[in-house]
Amino acid sequence: MIQISSLLWKAVILGAFFLWPGSTPGIKEFPQAEYDFVIIGAGTAGSVVARRLVEGTNNSVLIIEAGGEPSWISSIPLLSPSLQMTSADWGYKTVTQARAMWGLNDQQAAWPRGKVLGGSSSIYYLIHTWGAKQDFNDWEKKKGCTDWSFQNVLPFFQKSEAFTSRKKQTGHRGYKGPLHVSEFDASQSPVAKGFLESARDAGLDIGDLNGELELGAMPCQSNIHQGKRWTGFQAYLKPVLGLPNLDVVIETVATRLIFEGKRATAVEILKIPTGDVQHVRARKEIILSLGTVGSPHLLLLSGIGPQKDLESLKIPVVASIPAVGQGLLDQLNVPMYFHLSRPASITTSKVRSLGQMWNYFVKGKGVLAESGIEALLRAPMSQSSLDPALFLMLFNMGSVNADIFAKIANFKDDAFRTSFPDSHNDSKEGFIILASCLHARSRGEIYLTSSDPSVAPVIDPHYLEEDYDVKCTIQAMKLAARLAKSEPLRRLGVKLHLPDYSECSQYNQTMRDPRYLECWARTGGITGYHPMSTCRMGSDDNPDSVVDSKLRVRGVKGLRIVDGSVFPSQTSGPPNAAIVMVAERAAEFIMEDAVSDT
Ligand SMILES: Cc1cc2nc3c(=O)[nH]c(=O)nc-3n(C[C@H](O)[C@H](O)[C@H](O)COP(=O)(O)OP(=O)(O)OC[C@H]3O[C@@H](n4cnc5c(N)ncnc54)[C@H](O)[C@@H]3O)c2cc1C
Ligand SMILES: *[C@@H]1O[C@H](CO)[C@@H](O)[C@H](O)[C@H]1NC(C)=O
Ligand SMILES: *[C@@H]1O[C@H](CO)[C@@H](O)[C@H](O)[C@H]1NC(C)=O
Ligand SMILES: *[C@@H]1O[C@H](CO)[C@@H](O)[C@H](O)[C@H]1NC(C)=O
The closest-lying atom of ligand 4 relative to the alpha carbon of residue 507 is: 13
In this structure, the strands spanning 430-437 and 332-339 are antiparallel
Mean pLDDT, the chain, integer: 94
Q: Is 142 inside any structural domain?
A: no
Q: Is 13 inside any structural domain?
A: no
Q: Is 49 inside any structural domain?
A: yes
Instruction: Say how far apart CA 278 and CA 30 lie, in whole Å.
Output: 9
**DSSP one-letter code for 4:** -
Question: How much of the chain is in helix, strand and coil states, percent to nearest 5?
Answer: 35, 25, 45
Given 472, 497, 527, which residue is the final one in a domain? 527
Question: What is the radius of gyration, based on Cα positions, of the chain?
Answer: 23
**What pLDDT score does 541 carry?**
84
**What pLDDT score does 212 carry?**
94
Do residues 461 and 349 share a domain? Answer: yes
Q: Is 193 inside any structural domain?
A: yes
* pLDDT above 70: residue 237: yes
Pocket of ligand 2 (CB under 6 A): 56-58
DSSP letters for 114-161:
B-BTTGGGGTS--B-----HHHHHHHHHTT--TT-SHHHHHHHHHHHE
Do residues 314 and 334 share a domain? Answer: no
Which one, of 487, 501, 227, lies nearest residue 364 by Cα?
Answer: 227
**What pLDDT score does 5 carry?**
67
Q: What is the 3-state secondary structure (H, E, C) of 151-217?
A: HHHHHHHHHHEEEECCCCCCCCCCECCCEEEEECCHHHCHHHHHHHHHHHHCCCCECCCCCCCCCEE
Ligand nearest to the CA of 429: 3
**DSSP one-letter code for 251:** S
Mean pLDDT confidence for 303-331: 97
Do residues 321 and 387 share a domain? Answer: no
Do residues 304 and 439 share a domain? Answer: no
**What pLDDT score does 494 carry?**
98
Which pLDDT band, with edges at 50, 70 and 90, does 557 fall under?
very high
Do residues 549 and 486 share a domain? Answer: no
Which pLDDT band, with edges at 50, 70 and 90, does 543 fall under?
confident
**What pLDDT score does 29 carry?**
87
The enclosing domain of 406 has a CATH number of 3.30.560.10
Q: Which residue has the higher pLDDT, 252 or 231?
A: 252
Which one, of 466, 221, 440, 417, lies nearest residue 333 by Cα?
Answer: 440
pLDDT in tens, 382-391: 989 999 999 9
3-state secondary structure of 558: coil
Burial class (CB in 10 A: 0-12, 13-18, 19+), 124: buried
Residue whose CA is at the smallest distance from ligand 4 atom 5:
508
E strand intervals along 457-551: 458-460, 495-496, 526-527
Given 488, 511, 527, which residue is the final one in a domain? 527
Tally of domains within the chain: 2
- Report the percentage of the chain scoring pLDDT > 70: 95
Do residues 503 and 581 share a domain? Answer: no
Instruction: Say how far apart CA 419 and CA 414 lie, in whole Å.
Output: 9
How far does the centroid of ligand 1 lie from the alpha carbon of residue 292, in Å?
A: 8
**What pLDDT score does 11 carry?**
65
Q: Is 277 inside any structural domain?
A: yes
Do residues 374 and 513 share a domain? Answer: yes
Is the shortest distance between the CB of 470 and ligand 1 below 6 Å? Answer: no
Which one, of 148, 186, 183, lies nearest residue 162 by Cα?
Answer: 183
Do residues 243 and 220 share a domain? Answer: no
Kindly report each contact of residues 510-513 with a partner whose C-beta sits within 8 Å and lies 24 or more positions away, as own/partner: 511/477, 511/478, 511/481
Q: Is 11 inside any structural domain?
A: no
Q: What is the 3-state secondary structure (H, E, C) of 305-337?
A: ECHHHHHHCCCCCCEECCCCCEEEECCEEEEEE
Given 474, 508, 527, which residue is the final one in a domain? 527
pLDDT in tens, 108-158: 999 999 999 999 999 999 999 999 999 999 999 999 999 999 999 999 999
Q: With contact defined as beta carbons under 8 Å apart, do 173 and 161 qualify?
A: yes
Q: With contact defined as beta carbons under 8 Å apart, do 267 and 279 qualify?
A: yes
The enclosing domain of 47 has a CATH number of 3.50.50.60
Which pLDDT band, with edges at 50, 70 and 90, does 584 fall under?
very high
Residue whose CA is at the smallest distance from ligand 2 atom 7:
58
Do residues 194 and 257 share a domain? Answer: no
Q: Is 266 inside any structural domain?
A: yes
How far does the centroid of ligand 4 lie from the alpha carbon of residue 508, in Å?
A: 6
Do residues 42 and 99 share a domain? Answer: no
Q: With contact defined as beta carbons under 8 Å apart, do 299 and 305 qualify?
A: yes
Do residues 374 and 445 share a domain? Answer: yes
* pLDDT above 60: residue 455: yes
Do residues 342 and 382 share a domain? Answer: yes
Q: Is 378 inside any structural domain?
A: yes
Q: Can you give the residue range of the structural domain that contains 297?
A: 27-71+233-325+532-597
